[in-house]
Structure 1
Amino acid sequence: MADRPIGVGIVGLSATGGWAAAAHLPALAAVEGVELRALVTGSPDSARATDLREAEELQRAAGDTQTFIGLQGRSSPTFRWLRDLVAQGYVGEVLSATVVASSTEWGSPVAPRGVYTLDRTLGATMLTIAFGPAIDLVSMVLGEPREVVATTATRRRQVPLATTGQLVPMTAEDQIAVSGTLAGGAVLSVHHRGGATSGAGFSLLIDGTEGRLEITGAEFPHLGPVVVRGAGGHDRLVLPDGYDAYPQLAGTHVHTLAHAYAAIRDDLIHGTSTAPDFAHAVRRHRLLDAITRSADTGRRVTIHETTQ
């Protein structure tokens, strides 16, 4: 396989734009050793929830087949570096982690093609599209949550269409608040807000016995760049050499995707397991399911890892 490019097919490439055309195609073009070979168009009407049960079914069906999923943020050079910084003791023992995030979607005027994201039952909501990839990166750096208490709400029950101003119903949550503990005992606090009039944003504050890390971005961390500060937030830290294989793409939505495709390529060629797979998808859905159950019942939910 190292002697010929790895073929990639995309299901759901929209002729009128969208994530596949805007990000996946340029990412594929940037990575040596992979090439696009097949396209199938799709539509939002075909979107359906891939929940915990379905994720577990997919993992069982895959068996020993090598699989990959689209949590490209885990390939981010900055977050791979942050994981190493924390593991190497930059902040000492982690005491707490605080996340504050906001999305302009799920409250702002929505294009007709995006109305399906307002329907909680379809699964393409703020919880799965925005919150899920962000909390995945927090877990990558600090370890998996072991228990959560969650409160969610739909504060805006109607959203205007961007084209006509007509109000359409929204059942997806636009407020997600989660507290809990991480595997090492650190306290986790997260608040994600939808329909933010001040714009999207992300911040992660990591407090430890020996220092602090502050990570901020004007977009979500799996999509855009973040700024890292240490020493009480005063000193901006610079990504060291050896993490970024595509510096020419830095600052674009293609950056982390290019690294993700490179990780998939290397896993296929070398038999490694760097890129997240179906087992990781189950782990992430298990967390989202625990958040949903806690919000529905008002109870603390323990997250159990199981072997499939």
Structure 2
Amino acid sequence: MPSSASGPHTPVRVGIVGLSARGGWAATAHVPALAALDGYELRALSASSEESARAAGAAHDVPLTFGSAGELARSEEVDLVVVTVKVPHHRELIVPALEAGKAVLSEWPLGNGLAQAEELAALAEARGVRTAVGLQARSAPPLRYLRDLIADGYVGRVLSTTVVGSGRRWGPTFDEGSDYLLDRANGATLLSIPFGHTADAVAMVLGEFAEFSATTATVRTEVRHATTGQTLPMTAEDQIAVTGTLESGAVAALHFRGGTSRATDFHWEINGTEGDLVVKAESRALWMGRITLHGGRGQDTGLTELPVPAAYETLPQLAGRSTEPAYNVAYAYAQLLDDLTQGTRQTPGFAHAARHHRFLDRIQESARTGDRLAVSA
């Protein structure tokens, strides 16, 4: 692994587990993000078979292809293993990379539930390897600017924050290949994905919850295929409401609904003693797509858009590309490069992921028992 980013260095050689010739998140976000950055080389990939791996290699111009994640992890030509498959398969594909002593970037959620996340975090610590998890909203320039606006007193003392969001995949219909999202046991739910990404961003900007109470429900117990009309049961929650107080004392309310809304698909408001801030996400998903900030303070009678200063947009090659899924991912990779080469700790690792999984597990406990819970208990 390169030891310094202060000057020219050997590129970090990346191997992606789950890159397909047919597209998907790895092809849409990770490949263009890596291509936009100096300091990385997309060197290898693995797929479910040698044949599909060769097809993906040809499609994405990747020189080394493997029929299993274990073979990729053991390759001496791979420094960083990136796992981009469905959540139920994360553990079985991450473990070989950790055991091979490789740095690992896993998509979020880290594991299928808290137990797997804690196991993976413990193994990573025991092996002494650098890890990262795909909570890339933390790396988005607008949200880093928002965090600094709050810290610098733009709204004064934060009194409250409110988030209303939608999770399209858990609405009345499902698409081809997304039926696994309907089953809560698979760990890829409205709670773990849209809520999980957003709650982590809220914590990055405003601090963690101190205590909270939660209500969850599966209102639509049966949904239909968008094309064929086939119906399937849904056990994953399609309503999540969490209210409580942050460590700062501010009151917070987060409500996520399955499906989409004709009114508001995403709205994040921060209210303080001296002003107000509003975050808008054009794609309904805070962690991908264009984010805009709007604020007003003092004698302002309304909100105006707050452009992100150039100091936060440090990748000029991505200028004008904030609507692309690769945008926030590229900024996360840029921070990870510093972590790998300079020893910084900018990107959230597996230990952070396990803590966040623990928070989501506590939400389920609160919803089940009706108790108001302290996060740290």
Q: TM-score, normalised by structure 2?
A: 0.77
- Does the 8 Å CA contact 1:152/1:173 hold for their aligned counterparts? yes
2:168 to 83, 104, 124: 104
* 1:54 is aligned to 2:144: no
- Does the 8 Å CA contact 2:172/2:259 hold for their aligned counterparts? yes
Partner letter of residue 257 of structure 1? V
Gap regions ≥5 residues in structure 2: 49-84, 91-110
Query: Hey, what does 1:291 align to over in structure 2?
Result: 363
Deviation at 1:109, TM superposition (A): 2.3
Mapped to 1, the partners of 2:249 and 2:87 lie a distance apart of 42
Query: Which string of whole-angstrom CA distances, capped at 9 and with x for unpartnered residues, describes residues 8-36 of structure 1?
Result: 11112233221111111111111111121
Query: Hey, what does 2:292 align to over in structure 1?
Result: 227
Query: Hey, what does 2:341 align to over in structure 1?
Result: 269
Query: Which string of whole-angstrom CA distances, capped at 9 and with x for unpartnered residues, describes residues 81-136 of structure 1?
Result: 00111011111111100001112221242123110000001101111111100111
User: Higher relative contact order by CA 8 Å / sep ≥ 6: 1 or 2?
Assistant: 1
Deviation at 1:41, TM superposition (A): 2.0
Query: Hey, what does 1:237 align to over in structure 2?
Result: 306
- Does the 8 Å CA contact 1:44/1:114 hold for their aligned counterparts? no
Which of the pair has more CA radius of gyration?
A: 2
Deviation at 1:50, TM superposition (A): 2.6
Mapped to 2, the partners of 1:33 and 1:187 lie a distance apart of 42
- Does the 8 Å CA contact 2:117/2:350 hold for their aligned counterparts? yes
Q: How many aligned residue pairs are there?
A: 305
1:115 to 171, 174, 179: 179
* 1:91 is aligned to 2:97: no
Query: Hey, what does 1:26 align to over in structure 2?
Result: 32
- Does the 8 Å CA contact 2:142/2:292 hold for their aligned counterparts? no
| Misfit runs of 4+, over 3 Å | 42-49
SS at match of 2:243: strand
Q: Which moved more, 1:32-41 or 1:119-128?
A: 32-41
Gap regions ≥5 residues in structure 1: none
Identity %: 49
Deviation at 1:249, TM superposition (A): 2.2
* 1:256 is aligned to 2:318: no
Flag the 1:65–1:200 CA change in 2: closer, same or farther, 3 A.
farther
Mapped to 1, the partners of 2:87 and 2:307 lie a distance apart of 43
2:17 to 11, 19, 41: 11
Mapped to 2, the partners of 1:159 and 1:32 lie a distance apart of 45
Q: TM-score, normalised by structure 1?
A: 0.94
2:259 to 195, 198, 222: 195
Query: Which string of whole-angstrom CA distances, capped at 9 and with x for unpartnered residues, describes residues 257-298 of structure 1?
Result: 010111111111111000111111012112111111101111
Query: Hey, what does 1:36 align to over in structure 2?
Result: 42
Mapped to 2, the partners of 1:163 and 1:302 lie a distance apart of 44
Deviation at 1:57, TM superposition (A): 1.7
Deviation at 1:38, TM superposition (A): 1.5
CA RMSD of aligned residues (A): 1.8
SS at match of 1:251: coil
- Does the 8 Å CA contact 2:87/2:188 hold for their aligned counterparts? no
